[in-house]
């Protein structure tokens, strides 16, 4: 199997040597042997720490708005924006495209290194399969994932069974329009997972509402979902405003439900279904069903899916005279 990590290191080193980068956002091995974590590097020497494997699940686009925040400036002063590189899967790139469209960074200041994605391991599925044992290292094969456990045992697991649900339904595993595309194998295009949405939509309105209440009743208002989401970048979230105060700050159910409803609706036309919010949730709340329902509604009503095209405007920032109005006039049908 091709050593993608080595390819990433070589490309990153060359980009720094050519003075094309100030910062690169990628992955490095974590302190626990079985997981990669995000890293920001600033030199060719640091490129040797870069890594890539089936645990690189974070959506790195979440760091983009922060890296392009302008510091306070004196009138007339001009501080140049940095040149920032990202190592991107298909979902990371789709989020970056959405952020560029929303003027969070100019495309010319980004250097995008695309990696074809074979799918990322679901840590919760993996933990369940090994009864929560500590993992020393993982070896990612074509069909199997070999886990070396800290107690000396070795476990071989079916790769497909260990993948995240978001990866199993991914429609765009190969990033397009990047500056450098690394050669490698990508997983087949998934079925988009709308069967999950259809089964939820088939429920009566009262049953859907009950399902939503049951899930959100476990929310502890830690905001991990918001922090992990690349397109939740407001400097002041409505949930924390006090003038006016939109909702309370407790874990009272109605407050938690309003927070999630508004956050999910804010993702209409922007959510790339990467499941970063669901992975971050310490309570294991099924946010996937609700974010996918919004994404499916946008596809049905507007024929739009967040992709790699920088020119197509998102549906909620434009309109046409023949846009469907059913979601306003007949909401019971949506």
Give every CB contact of residue 188 below 8 A, 6+ residues apart in sequence: 173
Note the pLDDT of residue 76: 65
Domain ranges for the chain: 4-118+169-181, 121-162, 194-333
The answer to whether 118 and 54 have CB atoms below 8 angstroms apart is: yes
Note the pLDDT of residue 33: 62
- Structure-block tokens of residue 99: 């952020």
Rounded distance, CA 284 to CA 287, Å? Answer: 9
Beta bridge pairs of residue 87:
113
Note the pLDDT of residue 227: 95
- Structure-block tokens of residue 277: 């919010």
Rounded distance, CA 24 to CA 43, Å? Answer: 9
Burial class (CB in 10 A: 0-12, 13-18, 19+), 59: buried
Positions of E strands within 50-174:
84-88, 110-114, 135-140, 144-149, 154-158
Note the pLDDT of residue 111: 98
Give the model confidence (pLDDT) of 1-12 as tens digits. Answer: 578 999 999 999
Note the pLDDT of residue 87: 98
Give the model confidence (pLDDT) of 276-329 as tens digits. Answer: 999 999 999 999 999 999 999 999 888 899 999 999 988 888 877 777 777 677
Note the pLDDT of residue 258: 93
Q: How far is CA 295 from CA 83, 173, 184, 299, in A?
A: 32, 18, 29, 6
Ranges of residues in the chain with a pLDDT under 70 are 1, 33, 72-74, 76, 327, 331-334
- Structure-block tokens of residue 86: 């990202």
Per the confidence metrics, is the pTM higher than 0.85? yes
| Count of helix runs (H) and strand runs (E) in the chain | 13, 8
Note the pLDDT of residue 72: 67
Note the pLDDT of residue 73: 66
The answer to whether 315 and 270 have CB atoms below 8 angstroms apart is: no
- Structure-block tokens of residue 94: 């789709």
Note the pLDDT of residue 246: 82
- Structure-block tokens of residue 51: 């890594």
Rounded distance, CA 119 to CA 186, Å? Answer: 8
The answer to whether 23 and 82 have CB atoms below 8 angstroms apart is: yes
């Amino acid at each position: 199997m091709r050593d993608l990590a080595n390819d990433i290191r070589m490309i990153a080193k060359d980009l720094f040597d050519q003075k094309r980068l100030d910062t690169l956002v990628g992955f490095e091995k974590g302190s626990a042997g079985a997981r990669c974590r995000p890293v920001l590097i600033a030199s060719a020497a640091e490129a040797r720490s870069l890594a890539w494997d089936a645990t690189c699940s974070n959506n790195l686009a979440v760091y983009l708005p922060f890296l392009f925040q302008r510091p306070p400036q004196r009138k007339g002063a001009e501080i140049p924006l940095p040149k920032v590189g990202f190592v991107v899967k298909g979902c990371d790139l789709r989020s970056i495209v959405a952020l560029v469209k929303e003027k969070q960074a100019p495309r010319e200041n980004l250097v995008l290194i695309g990696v074809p994605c074979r799918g990322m391991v679901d840590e919760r599925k993996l933990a369940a399969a090994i009864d929560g044992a500590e993992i020393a290292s993982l070896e990612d094969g074509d069909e199997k994932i070999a886990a070396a456990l800290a107690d000396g045992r070795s476990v071989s697991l079916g790769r497909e069974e260990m993948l995240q649900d978001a990866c199993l339904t991914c429609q765009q595993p190969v990033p397009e329009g990047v500056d450098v595309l690394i050669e490698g194998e990508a997983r087949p295009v998934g079925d988009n997972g709308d069967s999950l949405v259809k089964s939820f939509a088939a429920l009566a309105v009262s049953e859907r509402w009950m399902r939503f209440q049951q899930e959100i009743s476990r929310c502890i208002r830690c905001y991990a979902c918001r922090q992990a989401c690349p397109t939740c970048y407001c400097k002041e979230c409505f949930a924390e405003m006090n003038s006016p105060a939109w909702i309370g700050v407790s874990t009272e159910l109605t407050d938690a439900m309003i927070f999630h409803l508004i956050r999910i609706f804010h993702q209409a036309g922007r959510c790339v279904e990467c499941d970063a919010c669901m992975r971050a949730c310490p309570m294991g709340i099924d946010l996937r069903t609700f974010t996918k329902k919004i994404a499916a509604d946008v596809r049905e009503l507007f024929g739009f899916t967040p992709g790699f095209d920088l020119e197509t405007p998102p549906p909620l920032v434009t309109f046409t005279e023949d846009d469907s109005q059913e979601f306003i006039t007949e909401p019971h049908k949506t």
